[in-house]
């Protein structure tokens, strides 16, 4: 597993009880926004369309966020690149959006890498190309275990 400052990355949509997740109430609000967007649009659009729609829904719910935030990536104290974050909500939750047939391990790794880059504890990987968007949502958590 990936480690950072004695933190281990865990990714799962179901393995851990919701009560163990940091920022549970906030992530539930974000997921509710995604459900509202998917209910209206359904699957089949490009990620950028879902990003715009989700941004609109987050705004309606009074949540602060940044779209396409740039995160600097460091190696050995040297900046080695930049990484774009689809949505960073309330400076706490990374949201990575996908519209793909199947979520791959590289998508999961992208969420974990993003969490490390911004120092966040939790991220949501959302695949809108599902019949039910909740089936395409996973949480990524950096924890002390």
Instruction: Return per-residue pLDDT of the chain as tens, 145 residues.
Output: 233 333 333 444 334 455 567 898 999 999 999 999 999 999 999 999 999 999 999 999 999 999 999 999 999 999 999 999 999 999 999 999 999 999 888 898 889 999 988 999 999 999 999 999 999 999 888 865 5
> What's the pTM?
0.83
Distance CA 114, CA 94 (A): 7
In a domain, 128, yes or no: yes
In a domain, 9, yes or no: no
Whichever domain contains 101, its CATH number is 3.40.960
Tokens at residue 125, please? Answer: 């990987």
Distance CA 142, CA 145 (A): 9
- Give residue 99's domain range: 23-143
Q: How many domains does the chain have?
A: 1
Overall size of the chain counted in residues: 145
């Amino acid at each position: 597993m990936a480690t950072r400052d004695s933190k281990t990355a865990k990714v799962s949509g179901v393995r851990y009880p919701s009560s163990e997740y940091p920022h549970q109430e906030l992530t539930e609000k974000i997921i509710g926004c995604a459900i509202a967007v998917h209910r209206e649009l359904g699957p089949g659009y490009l990620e950028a369309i879902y990003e715009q729609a989700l941004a609109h829904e987050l705004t309606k719910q009074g949540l602060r966020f940044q779209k396409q935030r740039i995160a600097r990536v460091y190696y050995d104290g040297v900046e080695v690149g930049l990484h774009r974050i689809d949505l960073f909500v309330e400076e706490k939750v990374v949201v990575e959006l996908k519209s793909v047939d199947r979520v791959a391990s590289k998508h999961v790794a992208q969420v974990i890498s993003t969490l490390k880059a911004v120092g966040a504890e939790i991220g949501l990987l959302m695949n809108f190309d599902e019949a039910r968007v909740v089936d395409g949502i996973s949480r990524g958590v950096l924890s002390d275990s």
